Structure 1
Amino acid sequence: MDLSNRPYRSVLYIPGSKTRALEKAQGLPTDGIIFDLEDAVAPDTKAEARGFVADALRDLDYGSRALMVRINGFETEWAMDDLAVIMASAPDAILLPKVYSAADIEKLAAILDEDANCAHTKIWAMMETPLAMLNAREIAAAPRMAGMVLGSNDLIKDLGAQTDPARTALHTSIGLCLLAAKAYGLICIDGVYNAFRDVEGLQVELDHGRLLGFDGKSLLHPDQLAPTNTAYRPSDAEIELAKRQMAAFEQAESDGKGIAVLDGKIVENLHIVTAQALLAKADAIAASET
């Protein structure tokens, strides 16, 4: 698979302390896995969990899935121990929680730079604090950055806000996060939906997230995978339209015209760029599922 087009429709959190879940994840239809050493792991099991995750990364087969480890934040006593153990396994990325500014990313990048095993390991940032949102642009531009994950729960807590289906309290934060990520070519993943049995509520957030431009959604439970993968997969109608737009534009160019008209709508080069990206994403998804 061309990793530049790697899909991130679904990114599933797996508690690092649960060996059965680590093993089961090998067969789950998730595009990415976040091996969690932070919120999902109790303080007295963190040392054990980081060993389990390092072993899983070394010994288990997760195929083409994107593999990242959420370590504990630098303000804790566990972060450096997490890195000392995990870096030897060279995950695709380290997901850093409690990011406040580019300085946090720069600190992690400097540590990774010192280990030859991590030459290709990227950094993802949990965007879960008001200060992170105000510094989103500089965070996105920091070294080794490849993605951002919206931390909805922490944001709601820090804002002292309430939740509603429209996610009104998060509108500004979501906008800032998406703008920064897209400006610097990063993947941007929507936050979790806590009520993992609530299929209808999840679907509302999936539709909302894709409408806004998220690349996928972070998930808490395997039952959320199927609807999420479907929501972020280009539909047959979208694929057909993209192909027709490209054909119409190619014909217009051969006729010496700069634009085409399809179904009564103008088709310009910007539409072709979007169509090409959509078809590349569809191909990448198909390749990941074979």
Structure 2
Amino acid sequence: MLYVPGCNRHYLERARTLHADSVILDLGDPILVECKEESRANVVEFVNQGGYGAREVVVRVNDLDSPWGSDDIKAIAQTKADAILFPNIESKEDVDLALNELDQAGGGDLPIMVMIESPIAVLNAKEIASASDRIACIVMATSDLISQLHARVTPERSAVLTSLSLVILAARAYGKAVVDGIASDFKNMHAFEYACRLGRDMGFDGKSLVHPVQIAYCNDAYTPKVTEVEYAIEIIKSLKAANESGKGTVVVNDRLVEHHNVRAAERLLKLHEMILELEAKYE
């Protein structure tokens, strides 16, 4: 998920050509106060024009209690955006308030995404994830979280591992997608690649990005490799054959395979097919 500043028309145009699965057209904190109104107008124009192809188009609005939040929602609710991303969600009450504002603006059918960026939000992750079926995705704001934890950024991400795990647990418990936070140092690609693979291994569905140079590294980390696809196919075939012969488990490549492994393999194959479909549309 690539953040694209709404104040920059060149970036909004360029996002239509990048190999990102999702673009977040941003009206939020990174936008200067004097550019807020212009950014909103730009984003409404570009979203309604379309041209983003198969990419998911998400708009991040300003905080609901800011001078711009309500006007952002009223404007975006009438566009062709795929979802609205609400920042600083810390409770079920925050989710209810966001949905109420969106419904009143005419966006009653629009999915939402929510950002978790504070210690209290992490502790309330279960409450937030279960707040509404309209929550399509939970997005981590790790930079904000690290600041509020009074922690430091390290390659191992040790300061936020517990927080990340708690949010992943809540997302999985309630069937929500969950996306890792940004890496603001977009020149240290070694650290970024490690962060992508760590997030993938923890269970994230993807990662939010701040620069196009990060896209290829992120896509590589989250795209199933040929060997993984082949292994998934073998798992499904082998356990099916074992079941037909009266066995409940089977060993594949020296690993015990059970039914939960088949479900994971089926998910990987579905992900593989979706990525192939997206890549074909980029060409």
Identity of aligned residues (%): 37
Instruction: Tell me which residue corresponds to 1:270.
Output: 260
CA contact (8 A) 2:73 2:105 kept: no
- Among 125, 129, 140, the alignment partner of 2:118 is 129
1:134 Cα offset (Å) = 1.0
Structure 1 segments unaligned to the other structure (5+ residues): 1-10
CA contact (8 A) 1:129 1:155 kept: yes
CA contact (8 A) 1:90 1:121 kept: no
Instruction: Tell me which residue corresponds to 1:7.
Output: none
Q: Does 1:56 align with 2:46?
A: yes
CA distance in 1, matches of 2:76, 2:37: 11
Instruction: Tell me which residue corresponds to 2:229.
Output: 239
Instruction: Tell me which residue corresponds to 2:279.
Output: 289
- Counterparts of 1:168-187 in structure 2 under 5 Å? 168-187=158-177
Write out per-residue CA displacement over residues 17-72 of structure 1, whole angstroms, 9 at most, x where no aligned residue: 11111111111000001111012211011011111101111003111111111100
- Among 5, 26, 37, the alignment partner of 1:15 is 5
CA distance in 1, matches of 2:118, 2:89: 7
* Structure-1-length-normalised TM-score: 0.93
CA contact (8 A) 2:130 2:174 kept: yes
Counterpart of 2:67, as a letter, is E
Shifted more, 157-166 versus 25-34: the winner is 157-166
CA distance in 1, matches of 2:11, 2:207: 19
Q: Does 1:107 align with 2:107?
A: no
CA contact (8 A) 1:126 1:148 kept: yes
Structure 2 segments unaligned to the other structure (5+ residues): none
CA distance in 2, matches of 1:205, 1:51: 35
CA contact (8 A) 2:74 2:102 kept: no
Write out per-residue CA displacement over residues 219-266 of structure 1, whole angstroms, 9 at most, x where no aligned residue: 000000001001000111110100011110111122122222212322
Instruction: Tell me which residue corresponds to 2:130.
Output: 141
CA contact (8 A) 1:188 1:216 kept: yes
Counterpart of 1:41, as a letter, is I
**Structure 1 pair 63–119 and aligned structure 2 pair: CA distance change class (3 A):** farther
Q: Compute the RMSD of aligned alpha carbons.
A: 1.1
Write out per-residue CA displacement over residues 260-287 of structure 1, whole angstroms, 9 at most, x where no aligned residue: 2212322111110000000000000000
Instruction: Tell me which residue corresponds to 2:185.
Output: 195
- Among 106, 109, 132, the alignment partner of 1:120 is 109
Structure 1 moving runs of 4+ over 4 Å: none
**Relative contact order (alpha carbons < 8 A, sep ≥ 6): 1 or 2 greater?**
1
CA distance in 1, matches of 2:13, 2:30: 17
- Among 151, 169, 176, the alignment partner of 2:141 is 151
Report SS of the residue matched to 1:26.
coil
Shifted more, 107-116 versus 145-154: the winner is 107-116
* Structure-2-length-normalised TM-score: 0.96
